[in-house]
Structures are given as C-alpha cells and as structure tokens.
C-alpha cells in the first residue's frame, strides 16, 4: 500500500468518507436508505462501491456501507410518523416523475421493501413496513391515486 493511501485510510476510514462525500449530499434519511440499497448486490448481499473499495478495500467499504445502512434504518424507525412523512416527502420531491405515478408504482411494486438492511430484526422490519404502508396510504389519498388495477 502506498503512503498516501495509508494516510487517507488512517485519517478517514471508509465510513467517515462515505458520510462526508456521499451521504451528506442526500437531503433525506429515506433517500440515504434508497441510495445504500442501490449499492447492495441483490445476489450476494454485499455492498459495492468502486471508489470506496479502491480507497479502503472492498471488505472495509462493505462494512462501512452495511453499518451506515443499519444506522440510518434505526434513525428512520425512531422518527414519529410526522417526521417520517416529512422525510419521505423530501425524498419524493427529489426524484423524477409525477408524484401520483411514483406513488402508484410504489403501491404496486413495493420497492421500499428492499430498503431494509439484512441485519434488521423481524420486529424492526414489521415496524418499518407498517409505518411506510400507512404513510403511502395517506399520500395516496392526498395525491388522488385511484384504485390499483393490477391487470391494467
């Protein structure tokens, strides 16, 4: 390992680098969860971030992303429903597409189910899904998303 890489590793570590250079740029906790979920290989369960792995090694990068995912998931669960709704609306305001279409797709495909870290306990998974499905029902009513015709 060259000396500049050693200094970077000793001074920062993968987790602080991930938070400072990437996660801090995402305005919502839910958005951070979605981002980290997008880095998790659905076959292996390992997190893959080329830049972070080059700087710190794939093992440390994977650990930093997994720990961050678990930390953010716990933070989301500690929010009350109003805080979760505000955070979710912040996330939704940052993504492309009409809000009604996004909500309809979420209600049909349930992509939010992938946002849970592998380390989540069953009670945490249940709480996350219950809260999120309640929030989606509220948003569905607020935005006039009609009945979901799964055959259409």
- Coil, helix or strand at residue 47: strand
pLDDT of residue 11: 53
According to DSSP, the residues that pair with 40 across neighbouring strands are 47
Q: What is the pLDDT of residues 58-80, one digit of tens each?
A: 999 999 999 999 999 999 999 99
Q: pLDDT band for position 1 (50/70/90)? A: very low
Q: Is residue 12's pLDDT more than 80?
A: no
pLDDT of residue 6: 43
Question: Rounded to the nearest 5°, which phi and psi values hold at 47?
Answer: -90, 140
Residues 6+ apart with CB under 8 A from 35: 22, 23, 26
pLDDT of residue 143: 86
Q: pLDDT band for position 145 (50/70/90)? A: confident
Q: Is residue 46's pLDDT more than 60?
A: yes
For the entire predicted model, the pTM comes to 0.87
Range 91-123 burial, b when 16+ CB lie within 10 A, else e: bbeeeeeebeebbbebeeeeebeebbbeebeee
Query: CA 26 from chain center: how many Å?
Result: 10
pLDDT of residue 4: 45
Q: pLDDT band for position 148 (50/70/90)? A: low
Q: What is the pLDDT of residues 86-137, one digit of tens each?
A: 999 999 999 988 999 999 999 999 999 999 999 999 999 999 999 999 999 9
């Amino acid at each position: 390992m060259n000396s500049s890489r050693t200094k970077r590793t000793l001074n920062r570590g993968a987790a602080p680098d991930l938070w400072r250079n990437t996660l801090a740029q995402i305005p919502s906790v839910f958005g951070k969860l979605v981002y980290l979920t997008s880095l998790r290989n659905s076959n292996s369960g390992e997190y893959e971030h080329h830049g972070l792995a080059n700087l710190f090694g794939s093992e440390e990068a994977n650990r930093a992303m997994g720990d961050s995912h678990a930390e953010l998931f716990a933070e989301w669960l500690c929010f009350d429903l109003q805080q979760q709704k505000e955070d979710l609306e912040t996330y939704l305001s940052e993504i492309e597409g009409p809000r009604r279409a996004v909500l309809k797709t979420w209600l049909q495909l349930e992509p939010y189910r992938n946002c849970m870290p592998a380390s989540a306990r069953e009670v945490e998974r249940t709480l996350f899904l219950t809260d999120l499905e309640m929030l989606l029902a509220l948003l569905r009513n607020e935005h006039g998303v009609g009945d979901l015709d799964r055959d259409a």
